[in-house]
Structure formats: C-alpha cells, structure tokens
Amino acid sequence: MTDQKTENVVIIGSGPAGWTAAIYAARANLSPLVFPGRAVSKDLVPGGQLMLTTDVENYPGYPDAVTGPDMMQDMFKQAMRFGTRVVTDDGVKTGDDLAGGLFSIFQNVESLDTSARPFRIKGDNGFEVTANAVIIATGAKANWLGLENEQRLAQTGGGVSACAVCDGALPMFRDKDMAVVGGGDSAVEEATYLTKFASKVYLIHRRDELRASKIMADRAKNDPKIEILWNKTVSDVIGDDVITAVKLTDTQTGEESDLPVGGLFMAIGHTPITQFLNGQLELDESGYIVLPDPGRSYTSVDGVFAAGDVADHTYRQAVTAAGMGCKAAIDAERWLAEKGLA
Ligand code: NAP
C-alpha cells in the first residue's frame, strides 16, 4: 500500500523519545506519522526498552513509581490524543480506531532513503510514505548474554536487568549480594552504583584485565564492597520466580561453580538501532548517530533529526530521551517553517 501524500514529519521509534516527539509535533499541528516498530522484532519493539523494565522510580511525576509498560502506554495515549497517527499492518490508524493500544500490530521500518527530498520511508509490510522531515528515535538495545533463564527472569521482574540505574534501587535488591557482568566503564559505574544498596557486588569479567578507563578500574578495585571475579563467564542463571544464583564458568580452566546472588545486572554494551540507515547518516565508531551540534537534534542530513538513546550513549535514561524527543520535534517544526514546508 502506498500513501501518495507527503507527510510533514515521520517519527521512527516509539520509546520516550518517539512519543514525546509525537506529542510536541502533534500539538504543533504537524499530524506526525509514527512507525512504532514490531513486537516480534529483536530490535525496534513498540514502547522500546522500557517495555522490558518493571518499576520505574526515577521518572519525575510518578511518586509511587510506574511500570515501564504502563508508562509507555500512557505516553502512547497522550500522543494519540493530539492527533498522532501510527502505521499498523492494516495501514495508518489514529487513536480512535486503535483498541489494542500500544499492543496493536504496528509496522517497523525497513528502509529510509535520504538521497533526495522528500525522504522515502518503507515499512516492513509494504507500507511506503514520503516525508519532508524525519525524526529517528529508534533507541539502543542493551546487549544480553542470550541465556534462556536470563531472558525469562529479565522479562518477569525476577531480578535480572540491563540497567542498574533504572532498577538497582528497587526494594527487592536491598542488602542482597548482587552481580554485574562486564569489564567496561558501564560495568564499573553500575557496580559502584549498586554498592549503595547491596551488601556486596561481584563484578564478573571474562578476562584478567578491565576494559574500563584506569580511573574507573581503580575505583572498582579499591571499593571494599566490590569483588572482581576474573576470567569468569555466566553460563546459566538459577531461580524460579527470582534469581538465587548464577552458574559461572572459568574461562581458563573450564571449572564450573555456583555464586549465590539476589540480583544480576548486564553491562556488556549496547547496540544502537541504526543498521536500517545503511550508512546514510554520520555515525560514531559504535554506530550511534552523530549530532554535529550536541545540544541540538540535527543530524548530518538536513531535515533528519535524532532523539533518545540512538544518539546518546552517555545518559540512556527515559527522562533524557523524552527531553531529546521534545527538542527534535521543536527543531523539526522550525526547520519545516524555515523551508516553507509546513
Ligand atoms: P564496552 O566498553 O564495550 O564494554 C563492554 C564490556 O562487556 C567489555 O568489558 C566486554 O569484555 C564485556 N562483554 C562484551 N560482550 C560480552 C559477553 N558476551 N560476555 C561477557 N562479557 C562481555 O561498553 P560500556 O562499558 O557500556 O561502554 C561503552 C562506552 O561508553 C565506552 O566508550 C565507555 O568508555 C563509555 N562510558 C563511559 C562512562 C564514564 O566515563 N563514566 C560510563 C559508561 C560508559 P571485553 O573487555 O573482554 O571485551
């Protein structure tokens, strides 16, 4: 199905950055069109990374916490209320005819062609559209080990997470022994953060040397609450409803052991969802979109804006992503006005 009309602005992605961009663009009468992603996809899932989180306690305005999926459903409803449209497998829908809410069957983006304006965007189920401006808010997915029990407990709030800053302060982790997997700056940062709540934090690293910067590595080594377990990988996660231990394998001897822990945090890097861009936008060496003026949302292609984790590997918070979504919508609105396109 092909829509002949050129859209003012197409938003790709539906985490806090995407919906916030949609709320602002809709309220500016730009009638934004969103490709939210596809639930079965391994990368751009409707609602983004927060759909994989349990309680969110650090987003302002929710004094009693909110679950990640509830918060995303609320953002979705707010965006739809002001006239945002979304691309589903049944074509473009508005709030009024979307009974499934954020759990509707949406389309993901297959490709974005920025070689000429208006830009051409193809969905993964036949939908095609052109747009004067595009906001990319596809996020970054946390890397996981890929173990079956790791995924099961991560998805059911069983004490396995890929974000210590998001989940580490939850009551379930208080005064427990916890473990962080990884040897980079994130792993050290997360382990250090968790020492505020944990009785002890194990840093499990697969080599005998940290990848983290020296200052961060020294911080971990000198923290009395952190014990680094060298040359170890996690080969299984143990626990029915909640994690009780991890199975470790020594990378040098192959020896296996069980380590009792009440929480497990992955810090083995993130992968930004930028593969569909096919090298058309400037990316940094890790694949994140480069914002030439870091305070703004402009990318290397005029008329294409970026917001949220896809352009930010430093903060990666729901609230910072939402703030960037707001900036992208305002930048796009002004850009369209300057060009006389809306
Ligand atoms: P990173 O530097 O890529 O480190 C990832 C770590 O995970 C590495 O130690 C790696 O082990 C390990 N790892 C990867 N895959 C694994 C697997 N399958 N099993 C076990 N371990 C695995 O990622 P990051 O720590 O998220 O940092 C990303 C960037 O952000 C870096 O440039 C970092 O400096 C920056 N950052 C800076 C700060 C700060 O300055 N405050 C904080 C956070 C992040 P190997 O070492 O063996 O490869």
**289 CA to centre of ligand 1 in angstroms:** 18
| CA Rg value for the chain | 21
Residue of minimum CA distance from atom 22 in ligand 1: 268
Closest CA to 318 of 97, 61, 39, 78: 61
Do the domains spanning 7-141+270-338 and 144-266 agree at the CATH topology level?
Answer: yes
Q: Three-class SS of residue 308?
A: helix
User: Which neighbouring-strand residues pair with 177?
Assistant: 200
Q: Taking 70 as the threshold, does the pLDDT of residue 1 lie above it?
A: no
Question: Which atom in ligand 1 lies closest to the alpha carbon of residue 145?
Answer: 18
* Residue 103: partners with Cβ closer than 8 Å, 6 or more residues away: 39, 46
Cis peptide before 63 (omega within 30 of 0): no
* Nearest-angstrom CA–CA distance, 46 and 11: 13
Give catalytic status of residue 326 as yes or no.
no
**252 CA to centre of ligand 1 in angstroms:** 21
What pLDDT score does 43 carry?
Answer: 78
Q: What is the token pair recorded at 337? A: 């006005």
Fold of 144-266: FAD/NAD(P)-binding domain (3.50.50)
The full set of domain ranges for the chain reads 7-141+270-338, 144-266
| pLDDT tens string 234-250 | 999 999 999 999 999 99
This prediction's pTM: 0.81
**CB atoms closer than 10 angstroms to residue 226:** 20
Q: Taking 70 as the threshold, does the pLDDT of residue 39 lie above it?
A: yes
Instruction: Please identify which of the residues 163, 312, 326, 331 carries the catalytic annotation.
Output: 163
Question: Which atom in ligand 1 lies closest to the alpha carbon of residue 211?
Answer: 46
* Nearest-angstrom CA–CA distance, 78 and 232: 46
Give catalytic status of residue 163 as yes or no.
yes
Give the start-end residues of each E strand in 55-144. 55-56, 66-67, 85-88, 91-93, 109-113, 119-123, 128-136, 140-142
Query: pLDDT band for position 167 (50/70/90)?
Result: confident
Domain 7-141+270-338 CATH superfamily? FAD/NAD(P)-binding domain (3.50.50.60)
Mean of pLDDT over the chain: 94
Q: What is the token pair recorded at 69? A: 């999926």
Instruction: Please identify which of the residues 55, 113, 124, 167 carries the catalytic annotation.
Output: 167
Q: What is the token pair recorded at 97? A: 């005819």
CA-angle at 66, arms to 40 and 288, nearest 5°: 50
* 139 and 44 Cβ atoms separated by less than 8 Å: yes
Residue of minimum CA distance from atom 31 in ligand 1: 185
How many helices (H) and strands (E) would you count in the chain?
7, 20
Q: Three-class SS of residue 327?
A: helix
Residue of minimum CA distance from atom 33 in ligand 1: 185
Q: Three-class SS of residue 185?
A: helix
Counting Cα atoms < 13 Å in the Cβ hemisphere of 12 gives 31
* 32 and 25 Cβ atoms separated by less than 8 Å: yes
| pLDDT tens string 84-143 | 999 999 999 998 678 888 888 999 999 999 999 999 999 999 999 999 999 999 999 889
**165 CA to centre of ligand 1 in angstroms:** 16
| pLDDT tens string 262-318 | 999 999 998 999 999 999 999 999 999 999 998 999 999 999 999 999 999 889 899
Closest CA to 144 of 227, 234, 220: 234
Question: In terms of DSSP H, where are the helices of the chain?
Answer: 16-27, 68-81, 148-155, 164-167, 185-194, 214-222, 318-338
Question: Which atom in ligand 1 lies closest to the alpha carbon of residue 268?
Answer: 7
Q: How much of the chain exceeds pLDDT 90, in percent?
A: 82
Residue of minimum CA distance from atom 4 in ligand 1: 184
Q: Which residues line ligand 1 (CB under 6 A)?
A: 145, 181-187, 189, 206-207, 211, 233, 267-269, 313
Least confident of 8-17, 42-51, 70-79, 192-201: 42-51
What pLDDT score does 100 carry?
Answer: 83
CA-angle at 182, arms to 180 and 188, nearest 5°: 70
